[in-house]
Structure 1
């Protein structure tokens, strides 16, 4: 089993969403001791936002790229290879200003590549990243799940489905700032939910 964890907390391994992901990864290791786990920490290694030259390099066929384009496309190629080669994708996602972290959006912009992770057909786009399961582990200061203010869930579900990942589970630890005294219990409850999902 290959597991890819994309961490998008500004606080890296000290973030609440990262704590949920670490619990998930520890549980996976217990159940599958030989699991191959890759962690891409976007706080330690931010993915640059796309610019026009990088975008053009990314969509140019590999054998047609100039030397400069090869360098510009190298990171996107690496990120896509990590995604395509994994079995389980784990996204640890805090909520910043009602959305996903910009670092995660930058990662998304690099891996959403026509002809590689999705393709256009006469009937619309078709995802090419098949046979994967994804877990979205979110930490939030307020209460957003099930409300119009939860922009993360529909966006991530749409994006993942767009590239072909339709088996997606969401676990949220909410009200971490609203009920700060209860934060340890809130996180513990979310970890319990993760355990239940992994047992299913």
Structure 2
């Protein structure tokens, strides 16, 4: 079994989403003590935004790769393989300006691969990357649970993971982080209870 932890917050030790991914990792490793743990910090080691070379490396057959694409291919494929090898994926996703950090979007862009994680058929798109649990650690400065303003954060992630076939998707969130320490403490306590139930 493999557990993959993804962090994308830029606020270091102050990051609430990183605290949540830590709590989630502790929870799942306690349940699966023999699991292999893989971590990817998208801030400490950012993935560049996709460009023509990395897009070709991800989406075209290896035998068609020109020199620059061939050179880029192993690193691009490693990101996808790391995800596909994982049974549990913990994704730290703070809300930044009503969406997700661009570092996290760059990671997602490596996962949406035609004929690998999704395909189109007679009935439209079909996800091929099911069979794993994805838990999103969501942190927000305000309170947006039932608000359209959150659409580009959690809805984006729900849509993306659903599109590639992930049907075991959970969100654990701390809201009102901008309201001060008491609000954060209350949010973390509620989140810990949700994590215990996973």
Query: Partner of 1:155 in structure 2?
Result: 156
Alignment-derived partner of residue 58 in structure 1: 58
Alignment partners' CA distance in 2, 1:18 and 1:131: 25
TM norm structure 1: 0.93
Q: Which runs of 4+ in 1 moved over 6 A?
A: none
Q: Structure 2 CA distance, aligned partners of 1:110 and 1:30? A: 30
Q: TM-score by structure 2 length?
A: 0.93
The reply to whether residue 27 of structure 1 matches residue 27 of structure 2 is yes
Residue 176 of structure 1 and its aligned partner are, at CA, apart by: 1.1
CA RMSD of aligned residues (A): 1.4
Could you tell me which residue of structure 2 aligns to residue 178 of structure 1? 179
Q: Unpaired segments of 5 or more residues in structure 1?
A: none
| Aligned equivalents of 1:36, 1:73: Cα separation in 2 | 25
The gaps in structure 2 that reach 5 residues or longer are none
Deviations 1:93-127 (A, max 9, x none): 11100001111111111111111111122321111
Number of residue-to-residue matches in the alignment:
197
Deviation at 1:129, TM superposition (A): 0.6
User: Which residue does 2:5 correspond to in 1?
Assistant: 5
Q: Which residue is equivalent to 2:97? A: 97
Which deviations, in whole Å up to 9, do the C-alpha atoms of 1:124-177 show, x marking residues without a partner?
A: 111111211111111111001111111222111110011110111111100011
Q: 1:50 to 1:32 in 2, by over 3 A?
A: same
